[in-house]
A = this chain, B = another copy of it.
């Protein structure tokens, strides 16, 4: 561990701008001007240097609350807790997103209040005077958006399946995922489709959307889709597969909610003596690396391949800077791509 040569004066409380001013022999105002590169003030280079040296020597870092209190706006991007589905997408980017936001001077704060919405929630969110609030669009109301703006929030960004009429939205279109899978299966000549979704639906509107996409695409092609609720459980999958193996109304193409469900299902089908894709084609979603280790390799729908944390952070920073409030603005987080492999 390297020796830690930090503050030469690790004494008592952190230094304030007054301390810096005293050490540099200038006024507190000058310190502020220099360190913020304030426009419209002229300060000699010599003074600037003295101030900066003093700040460095004292290890000065401006108190965020004091600055926020004065300016009425913090550098916080507040993300009230995301419900599971959106969470998985964003969470996978989280590590890098945080870092990238930092490069734009923004701090990500997570807020845990999954159940409240509307103005009641907005009251809470405004307590830190965030520069931006990024939240599932369905938790917003006209009044809550107004409240956030009134509190100095530069931009309120919605997340959801479709553009919000209230705020600029980042759209996560799960319907398109199901649709891509369905079109693929139909293109392979499958006419009798099934969609396997988690048994506990309603918990996530996610599966619902993916299912909706399948249905729409199939109907457009005049094909049938049946929906199968399946707990994530080997026994349940085995029962389902046994039924299909026994010859009951067996689909010839299945879209699974995600790759994990696809793997569960494929395993069960094979154990029941069915051939994949001979008897039944299987398509998953999310493109887990593990899908390639199956035999046959799992076909899947890849999502958001080109949505990078850097890009998101960049976009967010711009929306803050420009106080973007136009509900017509939408950013699509889901670029969907079918990845055909051997299972279909």
Contact = CB atoms under 8 A, between A and B. Distances in A.
Interface of A: 1-2, 4-7, 10, 12-14, 59, 61-66, 68-69, 74, 76, 81-82, 84, 87, 91, 94-95, 98-103, 107-114, 118-120, 122-124, 126-129, 138, 141-144, 146-147, 150-151, 232, 234, 260, 263-264, 266-267, 288-290, 292-293, 295
A35 to B, nearest CB: 13
Nearest to A119: B6
A232 B293 CA distance: 12
Given A68-B65, A112-B102, A293-B263, A14 B141 contact: no
B112 A110 contact: no
Contacts of A63: 69, 127, 129
A260 B289 contact: yes
B112 A147 contact: no
Contacts of A94: 91, 94, 110
A119 B59 contact: yes
A146 B6 CA distance: 11
A265 to B, nearest CB: 9
A147 B109 contact: no
A138 B95 CA distance: 18
Contacts of A110: 94, 98, 107-110
Contacts of A59: 119, 123, 147
A74 B14 CA distance: 15
Contacts of A65: 64-66, 68-69, 74, 128-129
Contacts of A264: 293
B102 A95 contact: no
B14 A150 contact: yes
A119 to B, nearest CB: 2
Nearest to A142: B4
Nearest to A146: B10
Given A81-B95, A108-B110, 19 more contacts: A4-B118, A6-B120, A6-B122, A6-B141, A7-B147, A10-B143, A13-B151, A59-B119, A63-B69, A63-B129, A65-B129, A87-B95, A98-B112, A103-B112, A108-B111, A108-B112, A109-B110, A263-B293, A266-B293
Nearest to A124: B61
11 contacts: A2-B141, A65-B68, A65-B74, A91-B94, A94-B110, A98-B110, A98-B112, A100-B112, A102-B113, A107-B128, A234-B292
